[in-house]
Structure 1
Amino acid sequence: MTTTLGTASAGPGEIDTGRLEVGETRDGSTFGLPVAVVNGASSGKTLYMQAASDGDELNGIGVIRHVVPQLDPTELSGTILIVGIVNYHAFQIAEHRNPIDDTKMNRAYPGNEGGTSSERIAAATFDVATRADMILDLHQGSTSRMLDEVRVRCGKRHRLHDKCLELAKAFGCGYVLDQKGPDGQLARAAPDKGIPTVDPELGGAVGWDETSIRKGVEGVFNVLRYYGFLDGDQPVDPQTRAKGFEQYGTPAGGLVDLKKDLGDRVRPGETLFEVTTPFGEPKAEITADSEGILWRARRLPQVATGEYVCSVGTDIDEY
């Protein structure tokens, strides 16, 4: 059976690429999101993947550009639907938010087909996503430094929580943040429609990072094998899970000296970072409130009073 997505159309055992038209630019010309259909030779489940719903989070695009050339649809069971760049306008100028309406795209789901630019894009991609049996929404930690992890955002009381957690574990980055996310996230909206969804947050980089991209490519193929799109057994390894997240800012301006590396365990009272003057004079020492793992940290050393410095994943277990 032929599967279409925008102008892409693929019969069994075929791949096609095209565009999903979602509106017009300020000069009145139409624009479309880059899309792909990978239609397996055999019937099976449907996976939806998207990248760059935040315009400067490029590792997901890096994953897709490596994954698609490695797929042989004649060896695939089921269908993969892909939107390669969601936040079209932000991507063009390498910004996080859609500059047309100053909106963070991953707060706009499920969208509104008659709404703002971001709401229309969200509605169009949500319509595609809800054709699937599972969803991978590929992100990164913006330009901060961050662990490679997968986020389960539906909340532990959601009826699909266990299935979302299973999908995160199958992806297999090693770390999972299991914490209910803000309204408007795809990983919040799609489970309400009965579709397991996770946010792989593939590190953090200015531009993209090949190490995180490789982990993302491995994660996608882990999912494809685990859910039967591809032949082969896929072992599932235990993941380190954080169920809480504490953010730390600085009480003083100056230069930050982190005392922990990403992935390091921290204990209450241990020093996370110090702030000094340009001459090395101490100004502040910030300690951890809880036991956990250093999960994320700012990239640049200079800070003003109250600026974000780092985050600690808390309530840690192995599952």
Structure 2
Amino acid sequence: MTSLGTASAAPGEVDTGRLSVGESRDGADVGLPVCVINGADDGKTLYLQAASDGDELNGVGVIRRLVPQLDPEAIAGTILVVGIVNVHGFRVAEHRNPIDDTKLNRAYPGDNRGTSSERIAATTFDIATSADLVLDLHQGSTSRMIRETRVRCGPRHRLHDACLDLAKTFDCGYVLDQKGPDGQLARAGPDEGVPTIDPELGGSVGFDEKSVEVGVEGVKNVLREYGFVEGTASGGEQVRATGFEQYGASAGGLVEFLVDLGDRVERGDRLFRITDAFGAVKAEATADAAGVFWRTRRLPQVATGEYVCSVGTDLDTY
């Protein structure tokens, strides 16, 4: 019997329940939705979570579609799922946890006696570090972004190659291989010996069906490659970026992008221009280095110095 919160499944069974992470302002229990998929045969344990950032819904869409497709009788091992991590942010469609105004994916490994976010992080981190592999499903918030996987432990980490292999197996077509900020699960998990990656499933408001489809296939690739189910992962050649350049607005106005997401750019290529409300060009920005046009803001209006777009640089294929 394998349990997670109130979910409990014998071999060959699936169960759902709630995982308590504290109480709300009216004293009611706050529980994260969880699922245990206990395979009929012994094997590895995969931990899967989504929506540690409350407005990043594509990962929730992946779990909603994936779980009904999994037959525990055909699985070797166990899959532990937390369907919505930042439940406070999810409920009000906000990126951060509104209880403590914290980006939850900067709170790992957490603190069982700390803030709301630290307590949620500590509870989910205990589950993650009991597993053999971790997939922390994200997206580029509500901005526009290509689909990619992120390896965040840094190239000198002892688990770097294992995390990179996991990212390649998931196969979004692009990998950002760059050490991430403190407090990310994909940074903290490898420190405890567990290969952990951060698939970024595009960027959208609500569900993007293509990104959800890519995420479902990515998880299935991992299940095949690591022996949870029969079959062969469908990965191909991928582009890896180890640098990431961000561009801001040098003037206020309306942004017009001159390249599309996923386009290759060379140093000096025009990326965007800013016009006033009457179409007069006020400023242009060009690429500082060759790379892939990776991410942009969603809305066209910008103030001076505001974020506009990003380019993945220092590319290779593998």
- Shorter-chain TM range is over 0.9
Residue of structure 1 in register with 2:284 after alignment: 285
Residue of structure 1 in register with 2:305 after alignment: 306
C-alpha displacement at 1:235, in angstroms? 4.3
How much is the aligned-residue C-alpha RMSD, in angstroms? 0.6
Residue of structure 2 in register with 1:261 after alignment: 260
The letter of the residue matching 2:195 is P
C-alpha displacement at 1:273, in angstroms? 0.2
The 5-angstrom pairing of residues 163-182 of structure 1 reads 163-182=162-181
Distance 1:233 1:287 in 2: 42
Residue of structure 1 in register with 2:219 after alignment: 220
Q: Secondary structure of 1:208's match?
A: coil
The 5-angstrom pairing of residues 121-200 of structure 1 reads 121-200=120-199
In structure 1, runs of 5+ residues without a counterpart are none
1:210-264 residue CA offsets vs partner (Å, 9 max, x unmatched): 0100000000000000001000122432210000000000110011110000000
Percent identity between the aligned chains? 72
Residues matched between the structures, number = 318
Residue of structure 1 in register with 2:36 after alignment: 37
Q: Secondary structure of 1:190's match?
A: helix
**Contact (CA 8 Å) 2:62, 2:215: kept in 1 or not?**
yes
Residue of structure 2 in register with 1:73 after alignment: 72
1:39-89 residue CA offsets vs partner (Å, 9 max, x unmatched): 000000000000000000000000000000000000000000000000011
The letter of the residue matching 1:283 is K
1:3-39 residue CA offsets vs partner (Å, 9 max, x unmatched): 0000000000000000000100011111100000000
1:142-176 residue CA offsets vs partner (Å, 9 max, x unmatched): 00100000000000000000000000000011000
Q: Secondary structure of 2:61's match?
A: helix
Residue of structure 2 in register with 1:241 after alignment: 240
Matched, 1:315 2:314: yes
Distance 1:11 1:306 in 2: 55
Distance 1:234 1:284 in 2: 46
1:149-207 residue CA offsets vs partner (Å, 9 max, x unmatched): 00000000000000000000000110000000000000000100000000000000011
The letter of the residue matching 1:150 is T
Q: TM-score, normalised by structure 1?
A: 0.99
C-alpha displacement at 1:131, in angstroms? 1.1
The letter of the residue matching 1:21 is S
Distance 1:304 1:107 in 2: 27
Residue of structure 1 in register with 2:104 after alignment: 105
In structure 2, runs of 5+ residues without a counterpart are none
The letter of the residue matching 1:114 is R
The letter of the residue matching 2:262 is G
Q: TM-score, normalised by structure 2?
A: 0.99
Distance 2:107 2:181 in 1: 10
The letter of the residue matching 2:216 is V
